[in-house]
Structure 1
Amino acid sequence: MIVKNFAVLFMFTFFVFSDTAFVDDLPKCKLDDYECLRGLYESIIHSIGKSGIPELNIPPVDPLKITNVTVNVLGLVNITMVDGVAKGVKDCLFEQFRINITEETGHQENTCDLSIKGHYKIESASPLLEALLQGNAISGEGNGKIKIEKLHMKFDFPFYAQKRDDGEIYIKCIYDLIKYDYEIRGKVGFFADNLYLGNQEISKAIVRMLNENWEFVMSSFGQPFVDKAVEFYFKFASYFFDAVPARHFIIDDLSPYAKP
């Protein structure tokens, strides 16, 4: 019984001090020190990395497990990642991060090498497409992968200082109103097997076409995939900012700006 109680005490102490150590070791920045803010945000994402921060209920960001996530491409096909992983977020290069507390706006820029692979499923979502393909449907279920090199993204996001019932002030981002733009400064590679047009297996031909024309493919059909990536990216950012009071990483007094 003594051993059991000691083990419980040890685990409790470990988690408490792990939590404290993490927030206490965060860089603390003034609101107008944009280089410090950039380094702070980069350190947060890199720290979460592969292990997350269990004490703050923050899951890992790299690799990120993806289960049953569906993207509709121009109303023509539905592509579902049934079971896969995304990698690369923890190694993103953070080039800019700044916030304006009085205007309640923020801006960031980063460049990432990203890959997503796993078990996919694709099916036609448009009778018109099938008509154009002479009654043949596009379908498939197998292994797929997409690799994007040097995806450069710019984000503009609204936020505010939120005072909660615990008396603490948090940074609250309004994720539904985020505006972003992107460009691919490297290249994109595709892979898929078990892809069919009607009863004809067309994986090799389609993959070759995608890889040879990736710039056209991404400019024409890439937006839904980037939209989904942005959704996941800011979802994980919200885990941190919703869990850690701003006083742990912001030097300035935010109380004059705080709202409920």
Structure 2
Amino acid sequence: MRVSLCLFAVAYFIAGACAGKLPTFIKACSVSDPKLNQCIESAITVAGPKFAQGIPELGIKPLDPAELGKVVVNNPALKIILEDTVVTGLGGFKINSFKMNVEKGKAVLDFTANVTLKAHYDMDGKVLIVPIRGNGQAKIKITNLRIVIKYDFKSVDGYWTVTDHKDSYKMDRAQFKFTNLFNGNKELADTTIRFLNENWEIIMQEIAPPAMDQIIVACVEEVRKLFLAVPADQLLSQ
């Protein structure tokens, strides 16, 4: 779930202000602050949602909504194509904790968000032993999506770069809506949707990884712009 790279960038982004470049809603934190982690957590809470809306002066595009385009799930049992995919809700994230060790070049970000994915879908296959097929509009609501990511980072030519990361995620629940299942057979569609919502973990094992990979693509591009624009010594003041 490298999606949290975008929020990790928010942490760096907020950690120190680059005068004349960063918006006024950014609160600077200092590396010498004994409560540095708490300072960054507080700053992310305030500025993170605005970052997700995009920052035109830095060329950073909105991440809420995140436009993913095409997402493909392709395995022997189930094939799903999502087109014009849009994810909303990242801007409403809640920081659970943020820990940073500047000397060792390590950081850990833990956050939670409620997100909704909407797309046009084309689906054919089976979930467990239940056949499913359709072509229409899809809506997936994910409750309490919690992401924990650990980073290694270093400065290269005066700019920060992430050298390695490990991540994990879990969610409390996912709920599905698919229009035009089985060519509009309402009775069969209602039964199938009920089955999917009762067994949401199984289908999310198939849908979540490729969808999150697409979110990552959008996030990483905006992070790259940020790191190229602001030197490391201005991202975290002394």
Q: How many residues align?
A: 214
Alpha-carbon distance between aligned partners in 1 of 2:44 and 2:87, rounded to the nearest angstrom: 20
1:250 matched to which residue of 2?
236
Structure 2: which 5+ residue stretches go unaligned?
Answer: 1-18
Question: Deviation digits for residues 37-90 of structure 1, max 9, x if unmatched?
Answer: 22344445322233x112211101111222112234x55333222113211111
Q: 1:49 to 1:224 in 2, by over 3 A?
A: closer
CA spacing shift, 1:82–1:100, aligned 2, 3 Å: same
How far apart in 2 are the matches of 1:141 and 1:49? Answer: 31
Q: Which has the higher contact order (CA 8 A, sep 6+)?
A: 2
**Displacement of 1:96 after TM fit?**
1.6
Residue type at the aligned position of 1:114: V
Q: Deviations over 1:214-256 (max 9, x none)?
A: 24544x546525643662574244443343223333113xxxx
Q: 1:21 to 1:56 in 2, by over 3 A?
A: closer
Matched, 1:109 2:110: yes
Counterpart pick for 1:145 among 136, 139, 145: 139
Aligned to 1:156: 150
Question: Can you list the C-alpha shifts for 1:124-169, whole angstroms capped at 9, x where unaligned?
Answer: 5xxxx7xx88xx8x54321001001111111112221222xxxxx3
Tell me the equivalent position of 1:27. Answer: 27
Return the letter of the residue paired with 1:228: D
Q: Contact between 1:28 and 1:248, CA under 8 Å: does it hold in 2?
A: no
Question: Which secondary structure state, in structure 1, belongs to the residue aligned with residue 22 of structure 2?
Answer: helix
**193 and 213 in structure 1: CA distance in 2 versus 1, 3 angstrom threshold:** same
Q: Residue 140 of structure 2 aligns to which amino acid in structure 1?
A: I
State the 1:103 CA deviation: 2.6
Higher alpha-carbon Rg: 1
- Secondary structure in 1 aligned to 2:26? coil
C-alpha change, 1:78 and 1:216, in structure 2 (3 Å) is closer
Q: CA RMSD in A?
A: 3.2
TM-score computed with the length of structure 2 as normaliser: 0.74
Deviation, 1:105, is 2.1
Q: Which runs of 4+ in 1 moved over 6 A?
A: none
- Distance in 2 (CA, whole Å) between partners of 1:180 and 1:83 is 27
The answer on whether the counterparts of 1:29 and 1:37 sit within 8 Å (CA) in structure 2 is yes
